[in-house]
Structure 1
C-alpha cells in the first residue's frame, strides 16, 4: 500500500532529525517512567508490567543519534517548513516519558505530505522486539486530504511485546483534513501512543479513532487549536473484548479566538475488558467566541466488563460555550424486550441494539462505503461474533 504514497512519503534528512533530537535531550533527561501516582496514568497498571518480558529497560535512557556526513535523500518539503514544524514540536510535544521515548528511539522520522484528496493507508507489522515510531503528516496550506492509518500487528510467541509511537498531524492555514485511524492489534501487545494535532488558522480537522485488540493500551491525544477559525472534531469507537484494557486521554487546547472543538467518543466492553476515557477541554483567559463540547458514551455487555468516563473542563474565559456529558450503562431493557416482542431472537435483538449504538459514528466518516463496512464488521465480530 505504501506505493500509493508515491513521492509524498520520505524520511527526513538524518542530520535534521539528529539536530531536533538533541534539542530535546535536556528535557528527556528530566523525565522518568510514570507511575500510577500521576493523573494521566492513575488507571493504567504500569507498575505491573514485566519490562524484561517486553525486552525493554526503562532505566536505560538511550537515544538514537548518529553523525551523517551526507543526507540519504533529498527532503521534498522546504527547509523553512521543516524548521517551523520542529519549532512547533519543541513547543507542543507532550512532556511525557513515552512521547519523548518514541521520538528519540525511532530509527528516523517518517514524513508524509498530504495533498488534495490523497488517501494514505499505512500498514505495519511487528515481531517480538520492541518497536518505536515517529511519523509526521503535513497538510499544506489550502489543501484537502484524507488520511487512512491502518496499523496491524502480528505476533506468534507467548510473551508480550512493546510498541511506542507518536503521530503528529499538522494542518497549515486554510486546509482541511479527515483522518481515519484504525488499529488492529494482536492480544499480546502493550502499547503507548501519542497523537498530536496542530491546527492553524481556518483549518478543519476530523479525527476518527477505531482501536481494536491489544492487551494493554495507553493513548494520549493532544489537540492544539492554534489559529483563529480552527475547528477540530474527534470521535471514535473502542470495541473491547477478552481481558483488553484501553486507557484514553484526550485533550483540546484552545489558543485562539473563534475556535471550535468537539469530542464524541463511544466505548463498548464485553468479557472482562476495561475501558477508561478521560477528556479535557482547556480554554485559557481572554479568549473570545470559543465553542467546545465533550461527550462520552459507554455500553457494557457483560457484568464483568468495566467502562469509566472522566470528563473535565478547564475554562478560564467568559465568552465561551462549553458542554460536557457522559453515560455508562447496559443495553436498554425496554428496547431489548420490544425487539423480542416483534419476533426477533435474543441474539438478533442484542446485535441490532449494539449496531445502532456505534453505527451513527461510522456513518459520519467521509471515506468510501467499503471502509465503513470493514469497520462495522470488525466491531461486530469482537462484540457479538461473526455475521
Structure 2
C-alpha cells in the first residue's frame, strides 16, 4: 500500500477490531449469498462467476468465523484517536451497516481496519494492489467536527496472469457536524478484475459532503453507495462519470436516505459505454414521513458510442413526506447525429467530431470538481483513452 497520508493513517486497535467482528457474526450467518433473484443483483451475473478461477469461494459458510486473530500487519502507527472514539465510530457504523453479503465479507476478511483522519489539510490516499490473490479492504475516512478537507482517493490494481481475480471493498465516509469535505474517488483497474464495493456515507448536522466517482477498467463491478443524512442542514452531492469499454460491466446502486429536516441531496451521474460494455445505474431517494424542507434531486445521463454497448437508468423515489422538493430524470442515447454532421460540415474529421461531442457530454462534471487543473486533465485523458483514443 502506498499513501501520502501516513502521518494521518492508523489501524483500529486489534481488540476493538476483534470485538466488532465478533458482534457481526450472528448477522453474518443469516445473510444469504446473493442471487439474480434479488432486485439489487438482477442485472449482475453473479451465478456465472467461476470462483475456482478466483482462488476463493465466498459462499463458504465458515468465512469470518476464525478471522481477525492477528494484529495489524501494515499499520504500526500510534492511533490518532482515543480508544473511546474508535469504539464510538465502530458503534455508529454498526448502527447503519448495510445488510449486504459482500460488506460483511470485506469486514471479516480484511487484515485491518484502516482509518484516515482527515483533519483539515489536503490528503492523497492511493491503494496499489498487485497479484492475483483475492484482496479485501475495510477503510474509514473520518472528518472531525468543523474541519474542511479534500480527499483524493485512487485505487489501482495490476496483475501478472490472464486469470480473473477478486477485490471486495467496504469504505465508510463520516462527516461530523459543520464539516466540509470533497472526495475525488478514482478507480483504475486491470481488465480481469471482479469487484464488489460498498460505500457508507454518514453526514451529520450542517455537514457538506461532495463525492466524485470516476471508475476506469475492470471486468465486472457491483457498486453500492448508501448515504444517510443524519442531521439538520446536512448536504450530500454525488456525481461522476463511468467510462467503460470492451466487455466490462458496471452495475451501480446509489441511495440517499434523509433522516432530518432541512437536508439536501443530489445525485448527478453520467455513463459512457463503447464496444460491448454494459452500464447499469439505479438511484433511490428515501424520505420518511414528517420531515420538512427536504430537497432531493436525482439524474442519470447515459451515452452509447456503439450499437452493441448498453446503458440503463433506473431512478426510484420513496417520498412519504409532503413538505419536500424532489425531482428526477434519466436519459439514454447515442451521439446527436445533427451535431455530429454539423461538425463534419465545418471541416472536422469524424474522430475530431466524436471527440468533441464526448468531451462536451462529460466536461461539465469534470469542471465542477474543486481540484487542481492537472488532476482534471488527467481524468479527461483517461476517459479519452478508453473511449476515443488519446489526444
Specify whether residues 3 and 271 from structure 1 end up closer, same or farther in structure 2 by C-alpha distance, changes over 3 A only. closer
Larger CA deviation: 304-313 vs 57-66:
57-66
- The TM-score, its normalising length taken from structure 1, stands at 0.97
Structure 2 CA distance, aligned partners of 1:385 and 1:93? 41
Q: Hey, what does 1:294 align to over in structure 2?
A: 298
Q: Hey, what does 1:204 align to over in structure 2?
A: 208
- The TM-score, its normalising length taken from structure 2, stands at 0.96
Specify whether residues 3 and 282 from structure 1 end up closer, same or farther in structure 2 by C-alpha distance, changes over 3 A only. closer
In 2, are the aligned partners of 1:13 and 1:73 still within 8 Å (CA)? no
Q: Hey, what does 1:381 align to over in structure 2?
A: 385
Q: The residue matched to 2:54 in structure 1 has which SS?
A: coil
Q: The residue matched to 1:148 in structure 2 has which SS?
A: strand
- The answer to whether residue 283 in structure 2 is matched with residue 276 in structure 1 is no
Match of 1:174 among 153, 156, 178: 178
Q: The residue matched to 1:34 in structure 2 has which SS?
A: coil
Q: Hey, what does 2:196 align to over in structure 1?
A: 192
Larger CA deviation: 342-351 vs 208-217:
342-351
- Equivalent residue pairs, number: 385
Q: Hey, what does 2:63 align to over in structure 1?
A: 62
Q: Where does 1:143-158 land on structure 2 (aligned, <5 Å)?
A: 143-158=147-162
Structure 2 CA distance, aligned partners of 1:223 and 1:356? 29
Q: Hey, what does 2:168 align to over in structure 1?
A: 164
Q: Hey, what does 2:338 align to over in structure 1?
A: 334
Shift of 1:120: 2.0
Specify whether residues 72 and 14 from structure 1 end up closer, same or farther in structure 2 by C-alpha distance, changes over 3 A only. farther
Q: Where does 1:77-226 land on structure 2 (aligned, <5 Å)?
A: 77-226=81-230
Q: Where does 1:235-384 land on structure 2 (aligned, <5 Å)?
A: 235-384=239-388
In 1, are the aligned partners of 2:122 and 2:151 still within 8 Å (CA)? yes
Structure 2 CA distance, aligned partners of 1:185 and 1:98? 19
In 1, are the aligned partners of 2:128 and 2:156 still within 8 Å (CA)? yes
Structure 2 CA distance, aligned partners of 1:67 and 1:334? 62
Q: Hey, what does 1:34 align to over in structure 2?
A: 34
Structure 2 CA distance, aligned partners of 1:330 and 1:164? 33
Residue ranges of structure 2 left out of the alignment (5+ in a row): none
Shift of 1:356: 0.5
Q: Hey, what does 2:52 align to over in structure 1?
A: 52
Shift of 1:380: 0.3
Output one character per residue of 1:283-321: Cα deviation in whole Å (capped at 9) or x when no partner: 000100000000000000000000000000000001000
Q: The residue matched to 2:125 in structure 1 has which SS?
A: coil
Structure 2 CA distance, aligned partners of 1:123 and 1:85? 23
Supply the RMSD in Å over aligned alpha carbons.
1.3
Structure 2 CA distance, aligned partners of 1:328 and 1:59? 36
Shift of 1:341: 1.3
Structure 2 CA distance, aligned partners of 1:369 and 1:67? 43
